[in-house]
Amino acid sequence: MNTETTVVFLHGMGKHDATFHEAAWAFLQEKHQSLSGQPLAATAIPFVYDDIFESLRQTGSLADLQPFIYDAGVLGVLQDLQASDLFLYTHVLDVLIWRFHTQARARVITQLAAALSPLLVDLTEGPDRQLVVIAHSLGTAVATDVIHLLAEQGVTDYKKLPALHMLANVAKVLERPERPAYNSPPEPSLCRPWTREPADKGALQRYHSYRNELDPIPLVDAFRPPWSGRWFQSTTFKAWGAGVQPHDILTYIKAPEVYMPLLWSITLDEATYTPEREQQEMALGAAPNPATVARQAVLRDLAQHYADKPGFQDFLKLIQSMTGQKLW
């Protein structure tokens, strides 16, 4: 079947422009070519929302935000952060704006929902249409809210989003009390697999969540939903990252445990992307990597320290540690 696929990328923390996905997309194209001998017939669309955060940053110092943060634990961390020079790092600010600035968050959610919605309309043109969303880091929390809005408004009532791939999933640690990622009450996000019951409003056909065990970021309050394994796949792997740190989108994309199911959902090529082939790729990918021993030790310590810490303040502390030790 000739499948016409659109792949949407959502970026993570920090500054990004419309080229942020290019390295990851080039890798996927190259990998598909070498595995199947065919060019990857799909269109990649980057969704950028950093410009909205940037416009807010320019209105004044975000230190002004501090009096209105209503979580005592987070406030304590911010006071520590402000004492250091690290407070204004965009990574921290992005997370703070996303978590605490309701209007900026609403603007990001609605803008991306308006960009994703026409692609869901296109799916009704035929069964050969595919749509795959790949979100990384902060983008996973953003994707959760965007897809929830679309489902809540009924856009996914008839055509579910075929596949969502969450790399370094932080949807749980960045959830807000009024909209949990999967726990209840209140009603959790509709960004979850559809139960296949007619009235169920779950927005997704398949939900893939990936966690690099050497990346401390998704370890804090890790994403562990009580969903059936059939339509939810949670994958863990270990990769130090060649030339980039373990949290980087490229570290994720270049892991066979990620690119094999990802390319399968883009191409639906069941002959190439078999579980057996994935095992072969994993055996090939076990070569040593260039990350320094010292850096590995620091990351291991962080991962050990922050694993399964329960809260948002721990998440901020971890980002502070990583920026402080130049691990980005």
Partner 1 sequence: MRTSVSLTLLIGLCCPLHLCAAPPTSPARMATIPIQGRALQLIDQSLADLEAAFASDPQAPSVQRLRDETARNLGLLRQRVLAIPGLPAPALESFASGKPAAAPAPLPESVRAVGELNPVWELDRQTRGERWLFNLQLTPEDAKTVQAVLKIQAQVFGEITQPSARVFIQEKDAQIQRLAAQWKTFYESVTLQEYPWESTANGWLDVKRPITDIPTRQVKLFHPVSGVVAFQGRQSSSGSPITGAEVLGLQWYDPGAGYKPTWGLGVLVTLKAEGERSSGLGLIASYRDFKFGYRQSRRLDGQKVDQAIISINLARYFDFTPSRALKQAVDKLQASKGN
Give contact residues for partner 1 (rule: CB under 8 A): 52, 55-56, 59-62, 64-65, 67-68, 70, 100-107, 109-111, 113-114, 117-118, 120-121, 124-127, 149-150, 153-155, 157-160, 176, 178, 194, 196-199, 201, 205-206, 230-231, 233, 261, 264, 268, 270, 273-275
How far apart are the C-alpha atoms of 267 and 192, rounded to whole Å? 22
Min CB(57)–partner 1 separation in Å = 9
Do residues 117 and 149 make contact, with C-beta atoms less than 8 angstroms apart? no
Do residues 315 and 71 make contact, with C-beta atoms less than 8 angstroms apart? no
Residue closer to partner 1, measured from CB, 110 or 236 = 110
- Helix, coil or strand: residue 132: strand
Residue closer to partner 1, measured from CB, 32 or 105 = 105
Min CB(266)–partner 1 separation in Å = 12
CA-to-CA dists, residue 241 to 96, 101, 213, 244, 285, angstroms:
27, 33, 12, 5, 11
Min CB(278)–partner 1 separation in Å = 9
How far apart are the C-alpha atoms of 325 and 328, rounded to whole Å? 8
Structure-token pair, residue 55? 């416009």
Min CB(54)–partner 1 separation in Å = 11
Residue closer to partner 1, measured from CB, 192 or 206 = 206
Residue closer to partner 1, measured from CB, 100 or 312 = 100
CB burial readout 168-192, b (16+ within 10 A) else e: bbbbbbbbeeeebbbeeeeebbbbb
CB burial readout 7-19, b (16+ within 10 A) else e: bbbbbbbbebeee
Residue closer to partner 1, measured from CB, 34 or 68 = 68
Residue closer to partner 1, measured from CB, 169 or 265 = 265
How far apart are the C-alpha atoms of 323 and 172, rounded to whole Å? 22
| Strands, E assignment, 3-123 | 4-10, 42-47
Min CB(28)–partner 1 separation in Å = 17
Residue closer to partner 1, measured from CB, 2 or 59 = 59
Instruction: Give the angle 130-144-187 at the CA atoms, nearest 5°.
Output: 120
How far apart are the C-alpha atoms of 73 and 316, rounded to whole Å? 10
Residue closer to partner 1, measured from CB, 274 or 304 = 274
Min CB(62)–partner 1 separation in Å = 6
Structure-token pair, residue 213? 């065990």
Min CB(70)–partner 1 separation in Å = 7
Do residues 123 and 129 make contact, with C-beta atoms less than 8 angstroms apart? yes
How far apart are the C-alpha atoms of 153 and 114, rounded to whole Å? 12
